[in-house]
Amino acid sequence: MEQKKDFLRLVVDRHPSASPVRGIYLITDDGARLVERVTQALASGVKLLQYRRKAGASGEILSTGLQLKRQCAEAGATFIVNDDLALARALDADGLHLGQEDGNPQEARRELGQQKIIGISTHNLAEALKAEADGADYIGFGAMFPTGSKEISHLAGPEAIPAIKAQVKIPLVAIGGIDRDNGSRVLDNGADALAVISAILGSRDPGLAAAELALLFNRREPYPRGSVLTIAGSDSGGGAGIQADLKTVTLLGTYGASAMTALTAQNTRGVTAIHGVPAAFLSQQLDAVLSDIPVDVIKTGMLFSGENIGIIADKLLQYGRRIVVIDPVMLAKGGAELIDRKALTLFKDRLLPAAYLLTPNIPEAEKLTGCTIHNEDDMCRAAEILHRLGAGNVLIKGGHLAEGTAVDILFDGKDFSRYPVPRILTKNTHGTGCTLASAIAAFLAQGEPLPQAIAAAKGFITIAIKLAQPLGKGHGPVNHYMAAQQVRCRQGAPHQE
**What CA–CA distance (Å, rounded) separates 364 from 297?**
22
Residues 6+ apart with CB under 8 A from 51: 28, 64, 65, 68, 79, 80, 81, 82, 87, 91, 93
381 and 371 in contact (C-beta within 8 Å)? Answer: yes
277 and 261 in contact (C-beta within 8 Å)? Answer: yes
**What CA–CA distance (Å, rounded) separates 494 from 239?**
26
DSSP string, 156-220: --GGGHHHHHHH--S-EEEESS--TTTHHHHHHTT-SEEEESHHHHTSS-HHHHHHHHHHHGGGG
**Residue whose C-alpha is closest to residue 230's, from 277, 285, 267:** 285
> Would you name the residues annotated as active-site residues?
397, 429, 431-434
Number of H helices, E strands in the chain: 19, 17
The length of the chain in residues reads: 497
**What CA–CA distance (Å, rounded) separates 314 from 300?**
14
Residue 360 backbone phi and psi in degrees, to 5: -80, 145
> How many Cβ atoms from other residues are within 10 Å of residue 194's Cβ?
27
**What CA–CA distance (Å, rounded) separates 136 from 173?**
12
Q: At 92, is the secondary structure helix, strand, or coil?
A: coil
